[in-house]
Amino acid sequence: MANTVATTHPEVAHHAHDEHVVLPQHRHHFETEEQQREAGSFGMWLFLLTEIMFFGGLFFAYLLYRNWYYPAFAVASNQLNVPEGAINTAVLISSGFCMALGVWAAEVKKKGFLVLMLVLTTFFGLVFLGIKADEYHEKYEKHHIPGASFSTAMFTHPADFGIKEEPIAPDMAEHTQLFFFLYFAMTGMHAFHMVLGIGILFWLTWRAHKGEFSEGYVAPIENFGLYWHFVDIVWLFLFPLLYLINRHPLH
Amino acid sequence: MHISPVLWQFLVKWLHASALFPAEASTIAPWMDALYFFLLAMTVLGVILVGALLAAFSIMYRKEKNPVATHIEGSTLLEATWTIIPLAIFLVCFVWGALLYFRIYNPPVNAMNIYVVGKQWMWKAEHPGGQHEINALHVPTGKPVQLTMISQDVFHSFSIPDFRVKREVIPGRYSTVWFEATTPGTYHIFCTQYCGTQHSGMIGEVTVLTPDDYEKWTKESTSGMSLAQNGERLFASMGCNSCHSGTAAARGPNLAGVYGSKLTLTSGSQVLVNDAYLRDAILNPSQHVTAGFAPIMPTYQGQISEDGLIDLVEFIKTMPNNYRVQQTLMTSQSDQTAPAASGMVK
Amino acid sequence: MSTATILHLPNQATATIPKKNYITAEHGLLSWLLTGDHKRIAMLYLISITFFFFIGGAFAGLIRLELLTPQPDLVSSDTYNKFFTMHGIIMIFLFLVPSVPATLGNFLIPVMLGAKDLAFPKINLLSWYLYMTAGVVVLTSLVMGGVDTGWTFTTPLSTHYLNTNVMTTAVGVFIAGFSSIFTGLNFIVTIHRMRAPGMTWFRMPLFVWSNYAASILMVLGTPVLAIALVLVALERTLGIGVFDPTKGGDPLLFQHLFWFYSHPAVYIMILPGMGVISEVISTFSRKRVFGYTAVAFSSVAIALFGFFVWAHHMFIMGVSNYSALVFSLLTMLVAVPSAIKIFNWAFTLQKGSLTFETPMLYAFGFMGLFTIGGLTGVFLGSLGMDIHLTETYFIVAHFHFVMVGGMLMAFLAGVHFWWPKMTGRMYPEGLSKLAAVVTFIGFNLTFLPQFILGYLGMPRRYHAYPQEFQVLNVLSTAGATVLGVGYMLPMIYLAWSLKYGAIAGNNPWQATGLEWQIQSPPLTENFPITPIMDHEAYDYEWLAHKMEQEGNDVG
């Protein structure tokens, strides 16, 4: 990364090292570039562990309330758009695939291919967010955004809306609001992480274009790849838990 | 207790007189105090031990006396000793404490029930016979009393230090605690869970009376209807009658005798019908549908207060009995156990 | 107390602070505010946490002042509730959690390992900025009128029944949490990846082991606090009902999420302090810590077990009887490693050569007070006993014994012990001993009466109390005054020492440990050449041999 922090030594000498040429991005508190790379990778894994704990709280709340209010969760989940969710899943997997190819490209020093992969990763990420925005909009129109405008009408009187579901009792229908709250909280938190990731992708793409990652310095690409894959995996859990609670393929 | 009762009484009374120790005013208090003295002894011994080691070593091995230190890596024997002995002592604390806990939170079968509703910032006690108290509680000696408690708003905690009992009072579900008072007198009631501005004002007094005085008090302080009578009124005014009419073709199950019984729900599961079940069934009926009935009961969430729910629960509890007779003669002995026969309610 | 001392200063007539060190390496405010040097960041933290300590302490003083009389006569109830809330939030999140790790840990861990810096210096700086941001946000909340939820943010009170600055404060605590997470992350990676050649895990000082264990807790536990606060914020703004029973939510869910972090948090707070005690006891006994391996493993055991006991804060809240049993049993198990450590430290003294400089006095204070605090924790872990004692002043006394009598004493021990290394100057020993004794006396007078009050039944967070509790409360307030004096003194003489203290030299305590083999204050890069660790930790023979070879060490 560009060194903006004041240090005591100018970025001058390269000491002789056994095998590797010292990269210009070598930080002086590391003995070897190897050490720097491993430390960075380890740090990113640890950070992802904290993210698991963070999302874990939401998953725990989901577990609890789905267990208590299964009927409400089931009918509410059926109001989510499975095709859009499935497409989004495919989009994210593609995005992850492109990212993995990008990491490879950096390692084999193919600058052009790296930039292309980063651009594609970003593109797919944006597609995902776009589809998500459409889904959120649909929720808004159906009055399924928790809060003052929330309506349980679709669950207590589904026939009025042409929905082929059994109606559920009003007190159980109230709990669909909990489902949608968790839906927005979990996918929203996920989307927030994606937005941050896309921001970083823009930055990395620009730097890749300048050639920073095709001379052997691959740590930022690798570590970002880890982060991106993690965000991907979170979605892979969210999709079935939120969208597929009660789906019957033969209906 | 097992140590000389004279010594015990002397110790506790002397400490209490010095305002250093609470009174022992319930049957469970001496048990609690025994565990406390054990833990205290453990702590004092532990501190003395550590202090003695520090002092002894400081004197014996101070630099003037021992200018050269001896390298010692460790001692597996010592490690084992000071792992196993503390563990053993702590496990004793665990077992003793667990037994005490189960004792305090599992009421005896014949406990008389008093409802307590906590709200910011007062305690409302409701006796089945209809006596209502605010920030006060009158109980007799020699009889186990169970408090069934719920909060109307935030977390509170009902505590009577001199009885050594305390339980969180939670919104949305009943919590219970029981005690048997031994000594007439007045004792503090505190709210011990921070609940907002007047948390320290949410205090009251338990007045413990001899059984005779308690009889007198119940008769003198009946403020109109008993809880069950109020519940009967609510049962009609909220329209429960229309489905739970007790007739064969009724849309809702007959509630007479249901309290204390085991009920099969439409989901196939079996539940014990207690206070909490009844309250939940009124608020979340769709999860509590009796087998053989349709899930058509509306929810009363938001339409009825915790006091009202208590009244209804009391009414359902006493449905097959002639509760009016019971109330005027024997309010202090309203029973927990369910009546055996179920009958038609007129 | 003996008059012998281990202190070995260079000839004051000729000694000087080394011209080139991390403080003089660069000049100007920006060189400090944009530094990557872990030592400078540690100093930044030291100044900031001291600042917040005194604010938190001021609130403590106000609380004790009000409690002199049984009536609620000094301030209104709402204001009083804000006092104890702000006292708790500031002391826990802005003082205790970062205290040893962010100051001493930041400064020493790279040096103790033979490294030039932590793994991620920029993230280290980011941690400090996050901490400062959190502090500013909390101060903002204070200025805007404060918050009165209690530091525990109990729902539904905090979500539906208060209209004070809950959101602002929650944001502040959330940010502070990330500061903590990044510090822990940095430590873990550094300890795993940046040890000097020959520095195996079991040659590391025990200070590093303790901070490692605390870092695991920071990294795994703090995110759960973060999500709990996010849910509180969402509940407050959107009113969904995730914690609201009238909407099907469960207020106990918040309790579980909150205490899942907040119990490990107490081990985050105490473990680094225990690390300090290991170093101090060893140095002032001239001996390797007794049972090094046992102490190292105990630290990790405390961290691991610490994750599984959270519901002991909820025994009377309606958790099932059987889960209460499990949590009580685990609580008893987590108490054992702490006992092991106390005995190991005590036996380090045996056959040692003891001197009683200020750090050692604080360490002794720690041993006694932590023993009391820890054992009173066993009272609370014992289910039946907890029924009577929970939510009373017994709890307040218990946690102040471990946090203040334990952790704060350990922090002061560490600050005094490493002061010469960090600043190049010695503090005045006579005055510091006085402060240590005054603190110890003041502390006991403040908090011992509170155990008695707790058993009597006086609830915590009470603005007014029954008359019969007054005498004990007055004693407690008197103690607090003495304690306050005890804490002011170090502020004064430590600041004084920066200009007028004796020059310390490399190794005034004649301690082992890599940090004592380099100059005081250290160079920015710590070591001119990478050290090679060829001896065990606490090897006083190696030290004696080395000092013979080198002759006098000059400042």
* pLDDT confidence bin for A250, thresholds 50/70/90: low
Tell whether B186 is within 8 A of chain C (Cβ).
Answer: no
Number of Cβ within 10 Å of residue C433's Cβ equals 17
Give the pairing of strands B112-119 and B270-272.
unpaired
The domain ranges of chain C are: 29-554
Chain B neighbors of A166, CB-CB under 8 A: none
Residue A74 has pLDDT above 50, yes or no: yes
Half-sphere exposure at residue A174, Cβ-oriented, CA atoms within 13 angstroms? 22
**Whether C285 contacts C352, CB under 8 Å:** yes
**Whether C381 contacts C312, CB under 8 Å:** yes
Q: Which among A222, A225, A193, A221 is positioned nearest to A207, based on CA atoms?
A: A221
Half-sphere exposure at residue C1, Cβ-oriented, CA atoms within 13 angstroms? 13
Residue B342 has pLDDT above 80, yes or no: no
* pLDDT confidence bin for B30, thresholds 50/70/90: very high
pLDDT tens column, B71-94: 999 999 999 999 999 999 999 999
Closest residue on chain A to C219 (Cα): A50
Q: At what angle do helices C38-66 and C106-113 cross, to 10 degrees?
A: 140
Mean pLDDT for chain C? 95
**Whether B20 contacts C456, CB under 8 Å:** yes
The least confident of B169-178, B267-276, B332-341, C187-196 is B332-341
Half-sphere exposure at residue C362, Cβ-oriented, CA atoms within 13 angstroms? 32
pLDDT of residue A14: 40
Q: How far is CA C143 from CA C31, C147, C151, in A?
A: 31, 10, 17
Residue C435: strand, helix, or coil: helix
Residue B279 has pLDDT above 70, yes or no: yes
pLDDT tens column, B33-53: 999 999 999 999 999 999 999
The domain ranges of chain A are: 32-244
The least confident of B252-266, C57-71, C256-270 is B252-266
Q: How far is CA A30 from CA B88, C109, C117, C196, C276, in A?
A: 48, 15, 8, 11, 27
* pLDDT confidence bin for B220, thresholds 50/70/90: confident
Record: contact C242-A61, CB cut-off 8 A: yes
Residue B224 has pLDDT above 80, yes or no: no
Q: Which among B3, B58, B63, B60 is positioned nearest to B33, based on CA atoms?
A: B3
Share of chain C above pLDDT 70, in %: 99
pLDDT of residue B302: 84
pLDDT tens column, A173-214: 889 999 999 999 999 999 999 999 999 999 999 999 999 998
pLDDT of residue C17: 93
Residue C427 has pLDDT above 70, yes or no: yes
pLDDT of residue B335: 40
Record: contact B69-C351, CB cut-off 8 A: yes
Token pair recorded at residue A53: 């704990």
Record: contact C77-B200, CB cut-off 8 A: yes
pLDDT higher for C243 or B346? C243
Q: How far is CA C151 from CA B159, B194, B250, C155, C461, in A?
A: 22, 11, 53, 12, 11
Contacts of B7 (CB under 8 A, 6+ apart): none
The CATH number of the structural domain formed by A32-244 is 1.20.120.80
Share of chain B above pLDDT 90, in %: 59
pLDDT tens column, C414-423: 999 999 999 9
* pLDDT confidence bin for C551, thresholds 50/70/90: low
Q: How far is CA A193 from CA A95, A187, C219, C228, in A?
A: 15, 10, 18, 18
Q: What average pLDDT score do residues A89-117 get?
A: 96
Q: What average pLDDT score do residues C200-207 get?
A: 97
* pLDDT confidence bin for B1, thresholds 50/70/90: very low
Q: 242-301 in B: which are within 8 Å (CB) of A?
A: 283-287, 295-299, 301
Token pair recorded at residue C415: 């600050």
Q: How far is CA C148 from CA C71, C77, C82, C86, C434, in A?
A: 20, 10, 4, 8, 37
Tell whether A48 is within 8 A of chain C (Cβ).
Answer: no
Chain B neighbors of C154, CB-CB under 8 A: 154-155, 193-194
pLDDT tens column, C494-526: 999 999 999 999 999 999 999 999 999 999 999
**Whether B313 contacts B275, CB under 8 Å:** yes
Token pair recorded at residue C371: 């023993």
Between chain A and chain C, the number of residue pairs with CB atoms below 8 A apart is 129
pLDDT of residue B287: 85
What interface predicted TM-score (ipTM) does this complex get? 0.93
pLDDT of residue A168: 87
Residue B320 has pLDDT above 90, yes or no: no
Q: How far is B80 from chain C (nearest CA, A)?
A: 9
Token pair recorded at residue C93: 């999140």
Domain C29-554 coded CATH 1.10.287.3510 = no
Contacts of A250 (CB under 8 A, 6+ apart): none
pLDDT tens column, C13-41: 999 999 999 999 999 999 999 999 999 99
Q: Which ranges constitute the DSSP H helices of A69-110?
A: 70-77, 82-107
**DSSP conformation letters of B229-256:** HHHHHHHHHTTHHHH---STT-SS---T
* pLDDT confidence bin for B100, thresholds 50/70/90: very high
Share of chain C above pLDDT 90, in %: 94
Record: contact C121-A29, CB cut-off 8 A: yes
pLDDT tens column, C182-197: 999 999 999 999 999 9
Chain C neighbors of B72, CB-CB under 8 A: 287-288, 290, 347, 350-351
pLDDT of residue A3: 38
* B114 phi, psi to nearest 5 deg: -125, 135
pLDDT of residue C401: 97
Give the Cα-Cα-Cα angle C357, C362, C367 (nearest 5 degrees): 125
pLDDT of residue B301: 85
* B119 phi, psi to nearest 5 deg: -145, 160
Chain B neighbors of A71, CB-CB under 8 A: 286
* B125 phi, psi to nearest 5 deg: -105, 135
Distance CA A70, CA C333 (A): 37
- Smallest Cβ–Cβ distance between A61 and the set C185, C253, C524 belongs to C253
C194: left (phi over 0), alpha (psi -120 to 50) or beta: alpha
**Whether B208 contacts B185, CB under 8 Å:** yes
DSSP H or E segment with residue C59: helix C38-66
**Whether B104 contacts C384, CB under 8 Å:** yes
User: CA torsion sign, B131 to B137 to B143 to B149?
Assistant: positive
Distance CA B181, CA B178 (A): 10
Q: What average pLDDT score do residues A60-86 get?
A: 94
Token pair recorded at residue A92: 């994210």
A33: amino acid identity, one letter: E
pLDDT of residue B336: 38
* pLDDT confidence bin for B329, thresholds 50/70/90: very low
**Whether C154 contacts B196, CB under 8 Å:** no
pLDDT of residue B155: 95
Residue B334 has pLDDT above 60, yes or no: no
Mean pLDDT for chain A? 88
Q: What average pLDDT score do residues C385-403 get?
A: 97
Contacts of C492 (CB under 8 A, 6+ apart): none
pLDDT of residue C80: 96
Residue A108 has pLDDT above 80, yes or no: yes
Chain B neighbors of C384, CB-CB under 8 A: 31-32, 35, 96-101, 103-104
Residue A170 has pLDDT above 60, yes or no: yes
The residue behind tokens 């849910």 is C231
The residue behind tokens 């009598």 is C405
Record: contact B286-A168, CB cut-off 8 A: yes
Interface probe with C: pick from A181, A184, A230, most Cβ of C within 10 Å:
A181
pLDDT of residue B2: 56
pLDDT of residue C2: 52
The residue behind tokens 């990478």 is C530
Number of Cβ within 10 Å of residue C170's Cβ equals 24
Residue B333 has pLDDT above 60, yes or no: no
Q: Which among B169, A163, B220, B194 is positioned nearest to C158, based on CA atoms?
A: B194
C83: amino acid identity, one letter: F
pLDDT tens column, C50-86: 999 999 999 999 999 999 999 999 999 999 999 999 9
**Whether C194 contacts A39, CB under 8 Å:** yes
Tell whether A166 is within 8 A of chain B (Cβ).
Answer: no
* pLDDT confidence bin for B337, thresholds 50/70/90: very low
Cα of C448 vs its chain's centroid, Å: 21
pLDDT of residue B340: 34
pLDDT of residue A21: 59
Residue A15 has pLDDT above 70, yes or no: no
Interface probe with B: pick from A73, A171, A172, A178, most Cβ of B within 10 Å:
A171
CA dihedral C394, C400, C401, C403 (to 10 degrees): 140
Contacts of A6 (CB under 8 A, 6+ apart): C26, C30, C31, C34, C35, C36
**Whether C53 contacts C553, CB under 8 Å:** no
Contacts of C294 (CB under 8 A, 6+ apart): B74, B79, C340, C344
